[in-house]
Amino acid sequence: MNFLCIYNRFYIIAKISKVLGGAKTFFGIYALAAFLPVCITVKKEYRIISYVLVMFLYLTSLYTTGLNIIKQAAAVSICFYGLRYVYSRQLGRYILTIVVAMLFHASAAIAIVNYFLWSKYRRNISLKTAFLVIIGSIVLAFAFRKILQVLTTFSVFSKFAIYIESEIMANNNLIFVHMLVFVFLFLIKKPMISMDRRNALLYLLVLIGICLEFSGFFVIYVKRIAMYFYDIPSIVLLAQTPLLIRGKEKTIMYAGVLIFGISLFVIQFAILGHAHVIPYRI
C-alpha cells in the first residue's frame, strides 16, 4: 500500500510511520487523532458524566466505524473538541480548531455553524428553532450539488468535484436505530436540559444529524456530513441518562446504556457489514 502518495497532505507523518512500522503505525497515529480530542473534551467539559461510559460508547460506535474513513473520523473528533470554545464564546479559537480539523478533512468546515446555534441563555429548544434547523438541514441535503459547485471553485474543496455528478447509493438502515435513540432522548429532553443547559446545543446537533442522515437514501455524501452533528453529541447525551435516576434504578439504566453500546456494535459490524475497514485487514 503506497500510503505516502494517498495521504500526501501529511507527508511527514507518513514518513515517520514508514520508519517506525509502515501503514499500521500510520493508521495508529490517525486513530490517536480520532481518540484523544474526544477523550480530553469529555474529561474536562463533562466531569459529572461517567467517563468510562462515554468512552465505551464512543469506542463501540464512531471510533470503530470511523477507522474506515479515518481522516474524517479525526476531523469529527477535533470538531467536538472545539465545542468547548462554542460554550465559552471564543470564536477565534473555534475557527482555528475547525481549520485544524479541515487539515484532516475539508468537510469539517460545515461544523462552523455550531457556533451560531448556541446561546448560554438557552434553556430549551423552541418549536421555531427546531423548525428552522429541520428546514436548513433539508435545504442543505437537496442543494448539496449546487453548494459543491460553488465550493469546488476554491482549491481546498476542489477534490470534492467528483461528488457533484456521483449517484452512489448506500445502505442507510442504521438511521432507524438512530431515530429510536433520538425519540428516546427527545422524551427526556426537559430534564436533560435542566441538568445541563449545554445539552440544548447537543439536542440541536442530533436533530440536524438525523435530518441529514435521511438524505443517505439518495445522496451518500450528505449522510457522511451528519457525522459532525449526530455521532458524538448523541453519545454524550446517552451517557448522561443514568444521572436522571437515583437508587438501584440508576445501576439498571447504566447497564442498559452499556448493553445498547454493545448491541449497536453488533448491528453495525455483524448485521450491516460495516467491518470491512482497512486497519483490520493489514
Residue 138 has pLDDT above 80, yes or no: no
Position with higher pLDDT, 13 vs 1: 13
pLDDT band with cut points at 50, 70 and 90 for residue 97: very high
- pLDDT of 281 reads 43
In the chain, % of residues over pLDDT 70: 67
Q: Average pLDDT for residues 183-208, to the nearest whole number?
A: 90
CB 124 within 8 A of CB 178: no
The top-scoring range by mean pLDDT among 21-25, 29-33, 45-49, 243-247 is 243-247
By residue count, the chain amounts to 282
pLDDT score, position 235 = 92
Question: Does 150 score more than 90 pLDDT?
Answer: no
pLDDT at 9 over 60: no
Model confidence at 165, pLDDT cuts 50, 70, 90, reads: low
Per-residue pLDDT for 153 more than 80? no
Mean pLDDT of 215-236: 80
Calculate mean pLDDT across residues 247-264. 86
Q: Is the pLDDT of residue 80 over 80?
A: yes
Q: Answer whether 27's CB lies under 8 Å from 68's CB.
A: no
pLDDT, averaged across the chain? 77
**Does pLDDT of 96 surpass 90?**
yes
pLDDT band of 3, cuts 50, 70, 90: very low
Secondary structure in 3-state letters for 42-79: HHHHCCCCCHHHHHHHHHCCHHHHHHHCHHHHHHHHHH
pLDDT value, residue 92? 93
Residue 12 to residue 9: CA distance in whole angstroms: 9
Return the top range by mean pLDDT from 1-10, 56-65, 232-241, 245-254: 232-241
| Cα–Cα distance, 206 to 147 (Å, whole number) | 22
What is the C-alpha R_g of the chain?
19
φ and ψ at residue 246, rounded to 5 degrees: -120, 165
Write out the three cell numbers for 232. 458524538
pLDDT in tens, 24-40: 677 777 777 788 888 88
